[in-house]
Structure 1
Amino acid sequence: MASLSWISIAFLVIFAFATNILAQWDQSAAAAPAATIFPQGGEGSLKPEQCAGACDYRCSATSHKKPCLFFCNMCCQKCLCVPSGTYGHKEECPCYNDWKTQQGTPKCP
């Protein structure tokens, strides 16, 4: 019976230690912004040769990679800007955000 209490105390100590480590890791991950991968900027913040890399990242999470890359690169060449992240944040690039198809839907992913 005494060994059972030592096992439970050891488990609680290990659990508390692991929780502390995970909390510190979560805080350090939150401190590093995603903008370090591709810095956000306004229109004209990219050079034309940077569009391919920015669009590869922008389209990395979609299941429709080929059309995403096609339209993203077309939009980037015109606006010289790609919003940060893999989705949303289009307010960072008004040109990218405001370019619409004939049906009025967004042209840029």
Structure 2
Amino acid sequence: MRKRREGTANNSPTPEVTRVRTPRKENHEVLATVGSLLGSKRVNLQCMDGVVRMGRIPGSKNKKMWIREGDIVIATPWEIQDSKADVIWKYTRPQIEWLERKGYLK
């Protein structure tokens, strides 16, 4: 069995981001930061339009995307209550860096 040399790990560069989903204004989508997890598929969102909303993770997305505090997501505010929203997309780390470079995040 060969010994593993230090410093020779597989250091692959970060993947290049080619396509990033941005919020669509015609669908009233906004960028938001997850503030805290409230339990029962609910999160506290600090939206980029300055409103704090209670976000709901729909059942179709519940098991597919694991959301933690500090994640950047796309939320769609409810038409009936503006203080609530649905979480529809979660960004990965390379996508967040791309959003910061392009000026979507401040």
TM-score interval (norm. to shorter):
under 0.3
Higher strand share: 2
Q: Please give the TM-score of this superposition, normalised by the length of structure 2.
A: 0.26
Larger CA Rg, structure 1 vs 2:
1
Higher helix share: 1
